[in-house]
Structure 1
């Protein structure tokens, strides 16, 4: 048996995270000797934690959530192409060199998580899309919409100058993206085929009230990446107007599947998680109370 190795999800706040339930269910199903927990850490404490991971030498990887995704870019040894382009890391894979030194590689599975969550809900190609927020998850949403060949991507933000880097990523990806101020969102959301909220929990409550007050119908799909508390005020408003709601826990599920595959391979288990992907998806669904995926997911991106 391979030596026990550890992993964790990092973020602040992190007490609500369902990632430990997801990952531990997967590793039990696979029979791999991995542990996984949640660690509450803010941006100013991330460098010290990365140094600890390097010093201990028995880590296989880390999941990275808000508000750390951008900061993690500068604390790893290498980046995958997607993480470098997006300037955001949600996955850190730890491997040990022959001399025992730990090497950290930053990746981003949020894109596959968003694409697969939207596809599972029935979203097709070439949607008209809106994104709420302009941070680390927003750039992943832009990349996912490029994968779906979106014809329009409007990014609603509170501070236009602060979103400049997000738009630079959009240009690099070839996304048909434009910026709008957040106060214009409520009056226009109903016309989009896809709306992705990348805002923290409760941050869209005011927008939800504004949208409900318009009386507009919602014919498209809302993916709200915040899943606690659930349903969010925005999800309730969207559904009450006839729209389809995808909970953020769906994105968490699919990006987590990709992380498990990366971690298992780096941890010395080869393609085991990929070979048993269907079983992994189902036990992860059970762990967080999501309906099992049957038949086996043939159309997953990743």
Structure 2
């Protein structure tokens, strides 16, 4: 039987992970498959029990709403994922299920040109309090950012904030960013600002993020983890106002590279021609 992996979540039909992983499997000539499977919350334990017994199952990627719910169902959790408190990749090995998190590293990958520069001050505004927001917060904290966590569920945001130095992390309600801000940003030299949408707002079928751009420092990088559609209302407005933007497809492929190595024990192709072909395929 062909060995396979998959992505699980609810909803899941929008996921482009099968396109990415199947492209790499074919490019490398590997005998494998990658699928998408809808798993509702109540069915998660039974689903993992069935897959654990399947010798052809390599593991899965995990998306909304299971990134934290899977933790007690695993045999072991990688230290990075344990610190983040969320898992986005489960690897099956010798009957054991091991959890990893590739979201943080995948998120940071397209920011490297900016992160490699020196700054007097780094500030990140992160919208959301789910598993992706957790990983993003830990990734940016490791790069020296002061964090502003904004969410409708401020209690969940406060739980994320509890893992950091309280002097450099702040929690607020997402609604705070909807009203205009009367503030003079003054001189912006020597600082790096990143604004991240880690909510489902702006995703196909979901309302856009309610954000007034007066809260955004001039030159702030606007990064949307949503990739369907690729240009969300947030990114469209940010681009029109002259902000550098990063789309969710870049985070998706960044974390997928790490997950592919874990699931299939192989490095995906990274040459320029393959990169262009994959992006064209994802945008088709």
TM-score by length of 1: 0.80
Residue 134 of structure 2 aligns with which residue? 139
Q: Deviations over 1:29-63 (max 9, x none)?
A: 22222100111112222111101101222111201
Between Structure 1 and Structure 2, the one with more helix by share is: 1
**Structure 2: gaps spanning 5 or more residues:** 186-191
Asked if the contact 1:22/1:288 (under 8 Å) is kept, the reply is no
In the alignment, the residues of structure 1 paired with residue 273 and residue 41 of structure 2 have an alpha-carbon distance, to the nearest angstrom, of 34
Offset at residue 87 of structure 1 (A): 1.2
> Deviation of residue 64 (structure 1)?
0.6
Instruction: Measure how far apart 1:74 and its partner are.
Output: 1.4
**Contact 1:70/1:136 (8 A) holds in 2:** yes
- Shift in Å at residue 219 of structure 1? 1.1
C-alpha distance in structure 1 between counterparts of 2:114 and 2:168, whole Å: 23
1:277 Cα shift?
4.7
Change (3 A) 1:216 1:88: closer
After superposition, residues 123-162 of structure 1 pair within 5 angstroms as 124=117, 127-150=122-145, 152-162=146-156
Q: Note the residue ranges of structure 1 that are not aligned, 5 or more in a row.
A: 97-101, 266-271, 292-302
Contact 1:115 1:147 in 2 (8 A): no
Summarize the Cα distance change of 1:70–1:215 in structure 2 as closer, same or farther, 3 Å threshold: closer
Task: Rate the CA distance shift 1:145–1:228 in 2: closer, same or farther, 3 A.
Answer: same
Would you say the 8 A contact 1:112–1:254 is kept in 2?
A: yes
Give the secondary-structure state (helix, strand or coil) at the position aligned to 1:71.
coil
- What's 2:274 paired with? 283
Residue deviations 1:187-216 (CA, integer Å, cap 9, x gap) = 4699671011101142672524x33xx497
Match of 2:111 among 79, 98, 118: 118
Cα distance between partner residues in 2 of 1:282 and 1:72: 37
Deviation at 1:285, TM superposition (A): 4.8
Q: What is the number of residues matched between the two proteins? A: 269
- With over 3 angstroms needed to count, the CA separation of the structure-2 counterparts of 1:59 and 1:206, relative to structure 1, is closer
CA RMSD across the alignment: 2.7
Match of 1:297 in 2: none
